[in-house]
Structure 1
Amino acid sequence: MRVAIAGAGAVGRSIATELLENGHTVMLIERESDQFVPETVEQADWVLGDACEVSTLEESGLELCDVVIAATGDDKVNLVVSLLAKTEFAVRRVVARVNNPANEWLFTEAWGVDVAVSTPRMLAAMVEEAVSVGDLVRLMTFRQSQTNLVELTLPEETPLAGRPVRDVDLPKDAALVTILRGERVIVPSPDDPLEPGDELLFVSHSDVEPQIRTALGY
């Protein structure tokens, strides 16, 4: 997969390194000369230019990319890059970084964004996930389908202890996708028993989250 990243700051370089380690081809686009340091991520292709300019994107061959990640520290720039990538270069998947949670409502399909990643919201969700037991925590939102990845850790006194997954009567627009048990990652089957301390990951529509709580006995 070929991925273009707009913004070669600490965030952009970190994403590039992870993607390269996973075998993907990465291009970093940076407009600030002091951030243009190819030796920091030597395996990536580097482009010095403004990702908000169509000419820069044309010269970099953005239309050949499968994914564009708008990862700058400026929400306005990330929105413009997302819109250009989707409308002018027909990039299949666009991921945008949200720096200010107040701007999150803008990061939608109307601006070419398929997935919006809000760093403050993600950090808050991770804190909630770390301290919340027996409550549903929203980890992230999938903009295209308007569904969420949510998590619930079963407490010690859960009424579901020892009962199989099939006994959890989930609503129509929700699915249990993973059970995290210690160091194990379990793809659930109907006969798998649930245990106290299990971290249950669901994909669901926000409207049915109360029904998930009810199905789990909360």
Structure 2
Amino acid sequence: MYVIVVGGGKVGYNLTRHLLAEGREVVLIEKNRARARELQADLGEAITAGDGVRVNVMREAGANRADVVAAVTGDDETNLVVCQVAKTVFLKPRTIARVSDPRNESVFGALGVDLTVSSTRIIDAMIEKQVGADDLVIPLLTLRGGDVEIVEVRVSDESPMLGKPLRDLSLPTGSILIAVFRNEKTMIPKGETVLQKNDELIALVTSQDEAALRRMF
């Protein structure tokens, strides 16, 4: 799978680093050249300097063969334009847009963006999901299209996954771990991260694979 990420802020950086750790082919496009140099010092050739709304920049990044284009800048309008360029010029990529204002989600969907992710929506969902300790998998957000969810997975004291590094986990095909919450700290999951009792994992999972993920914990 080839992924193009547009936007080199915290979201884009963490997403790119995670995808690289997962062995994905990924390029991050960052408009600010100084910021791009900072990212290159850490992530190397995965970073390219340029404006992701420009067709020539996207073409040079390989958008004609990309499977996914994820626009995660802090500006909703920029993210929408990036997704529209990917759809109308390069036709095939699946598009994902970060949306800062939840009121824009319906607009993005109407204009052809495949999936939208709103941090505000996620936070709201977490507040609304008041669950007991026995609820090990909590749906936080169903992404546009209804086939992908962000879920919270709590590691129980009887989980067979306790003490195991993430690299040894055989996760369902349609799932990706994106964060680990431990002792009020947030960690980006790495292969060597060892699971502990009461760790809370945030995962992106397809609806059909959610049950399989639940059974693991």
Q: TM-score range by the shorter chain?
A: 0.5 to 0.7
Q: Which residue of 1 aligns with 2:68?
A: 67
Deviation of the 1:113 alpha carbon: 1.3
Distance (Å, rounded) in 2 between the aligned partners of 1:111 and 1:184: 44
Please give the residue correspondences for 1:26-175 in structure 2 after superposition, counting only pairs within 5 Å: 26-36=26-36, 37=38, 38-42=40-44, 44-108=45-109, 110-129=110-129, 131-133=130-132, 139-144=140-145, 146=146, 149=149
User: Unaligned regions of 5+ residues in structure 2, if any?
Assistant: 162-171, 173-204, 209-217
> Structure 1's 55 and 74: CA in aligned 2 closer, same or farther, altered over 3 A?
same
> Structure 1's 128 and 66: CA in aligned 2 closer, same or farther, altered over 3 A?
same
User: Unaligned regions of 5+ residues in structure 1, if any?
Assistant: 152-178, 188-200, 205-218
The answer as to whether partners of 2:19 and 2:26 remain within 8 angstroms in 1 is: yes
Normalising by structure 2, we get a TM-score of 0.63
Ranges of 4+ aligned residues in structure 1 off by more than 6 Å: none
Q: Which amino acid aligns with 1:63?
A: N
Deviation of the 1:64 alpha carbon: 1.5
Matched length: 161
Identical pairs, percent:
35
Distance (Å, rounded) in 2 between the aligned partners of 1:203 and 1:142: 10
Deviations 1:125-153 (A, max 9, x none): 23333x33499x76223323x467598xx
Q: What secondary structure, in the 3-state scheme, does the structure 1 residue paired with 2:141 have?
A: strand
The answer as to whether partners of 1:75 and 1:98 remain within 8 angstroms in 2 is: yes
Q: RMSD across aligned C-alpha pairs, in angstroms? A: 3.3
Of structures 1 and 2, the larger Rg is shown by: 1
The answer as to whether partners of 1:6 and 1:12 remain within 8 angstroms in 2 is: yes
The answer as to whether partners of 2:139 and 2:150 remain within 8 angstroms in 1 is: yes
Deviation of the 1:34 alpha carbon: 2.7
The answer as to whether partners of 1:4 and 1:68 remain within 8 angstroms in 2 is: yes
The answer as to whether partners of 1:83 and 1:112 remain within 8 angstroms in 2 is: yes
Normalising by structure 1, we get a TM-score of 0.62
The answer as to whether partners of 1:139 and 1:148 remain within 8 angstroms in 2 is: no
Distance (Å, rounded) in 2 between the aligned partners of 1:45 and 1:202: 27
The answer as to whether partners of 1:138 and 1:148 remain within 8 angstroms in 2 is: no
